[in-house]
Amino acid sequence: MSITIKSAEDIEGMRLACRLASEVLDYITPHIKPGITTKEIDRLGAECMAQQGTISATVGYQPPGYPPYPASLCTSVNHVVCHGIPNDKPLKKGDIVNVDVTVITKDGWYGDNSRMFLIGECSIAAKRLSALTFEAMWHGIVQVKPGARLGDIGHAIQKFAEGHGFSVVREFCGHGIGKKFHEEPQVLHYGKPGTLEELVPGMMFTIEPMINAGRREVKDFGNDGWTIVTKDHSLSAQWEHTVLVTPTGYEVMTLSAGSPPLPPFVTATTT
Ligand code: MF3
Ligand code: CO
Ligand code: CO
């Protein structure tokens, strides 16, 4: 087991998978407003994937010790940290929801990404958590270049998030990705600069920080084998991109027409 290095041809396959994963989020975006259920979001995601000719990586996904995941995407509302299962409860004004989409192309490449959505008018605290989690992800992304280390990514995210009074979830991390959903390396969203694996051109992994407004501890929701919530019931946010290490820096792979604008400190999606 080791970190796969993607060839030029592999990277082309991943560019397509990742763009399509981002386009699923674009497709559902206009529908995400008060009254829609997360099951309806899931149906729209599945409809888009069918049109694309991709399949969902999450339907039936079953890591050891888990039941098969039952939906085409994940919807994590308010204090749900990750892996929320779509259900029949309508979203209401003031909710925040992460939608996490992973598609597989016909060539077998996986593209994985997620965004936050604000439902109607939200509290200042909720807007701030979502916006700063987006920035935290980007603080991690801009660390990516040959010679940097995984610990640099985690440290940048942790320092930014904790500097704003938030906490970083420890139990879940980013991951290598390619012809498998979850490969090496693990990409922790906390850590020390100059530690862990050195980045090499052709590595491809996700950066997907889960940031809590309150304490960092999480627990199983309890009844479905998947849903993870904050222990203190505080709000949690997450954003995710799939990123390539290039000879000169990074290339963000999961981009499309509807990707949100870059934070002010970021100059480009490819360096
Ligand atoms: N897409 C998630 C990730 O970023 C994994 C979801 S697994 C599921 O790693 F089974 F919950 F869908
Ligand atoms: Co991921
Ligand atoms: Co994901």
Fold adopted by 8-252: Creatine Amidinohydrolase (3.90.230)
Instruction: For ligand 1, say whether the CB of 42 is within 6 Å of any of its atoms.
Output: no
- Give me ligand 3 centre to Cα 120, in Å: 24
What pLDDT does 78 receive?
98
Token representation of residue 48: 């888009």
What pLDDT does 222 receive?
80
Burial 195-227 (b: 16+ CB within 10 A, else e): ebbebeebbbbbbbbbbbbbebebeebeeebbb
Instruction: For ligand 1, say whether the CB of 259 is within 6 Å of any of its atoms.
Output: no
Whole-model pTM: value is 0.98
What pLDDT does 98 receive?
99
Q: Which of 82, 189, 204 to mutate to test the pocket of ligand 1 (most atoms within 8 A of CB)?
A: 82
Q: Where are the domains of the chain?
A: 8-252
- Give me ligand 2 centre to Cα 144, in Å: 17
Instruction: For ligand 1, say whether the CB of 205 is within 6 Å of any of its atoms.
Output: no
- HEC string of the chain equals CCCCCCCHHHHHHHHHHHHHHHHHHHHHHHHCCCCCEHHHHHHHHHHHHHHHCCEECCCCCCCCCCCCCCCCCEEEECCEEECCCCCCCECCCCCEEEEEEEEECCCCCEEEEEEEEECCCCCHHHHHHHHHHHHHHHHHHCCCCCCCEHHHHHHHHHHHHHHCCCEECCCCCEEECCCCCCEEEEECCCCCCCCCCECCCCCEEEECCEEECCCCCEEECCCCCCCEEECCCCCEEECEEEEEECCCCEEECCCCCCCCCCCCCCCCCEC
Q: What is the mean pLDDT of the chain?
A: 98
What pLDDT does 46 receive?
98
What pLDDT does 45 receive?
99
Q: Which of 66, 112, 177, 186 to mutate to test the pocket of ligand 1 (most atoms within 8 A of CB)?
A: 112
Per-run averaged pLDDT (10 residues), the chain, 271 residues:
94 98 99 98 99 98 97 98 98 98 98 98 98 98 98 98 98 98 98 98 98 98 94 98 98 98 97 97
Instruction: For ligand 1, say whether the CB of 183 is within 6 Å of any of its atoms.
Output: no
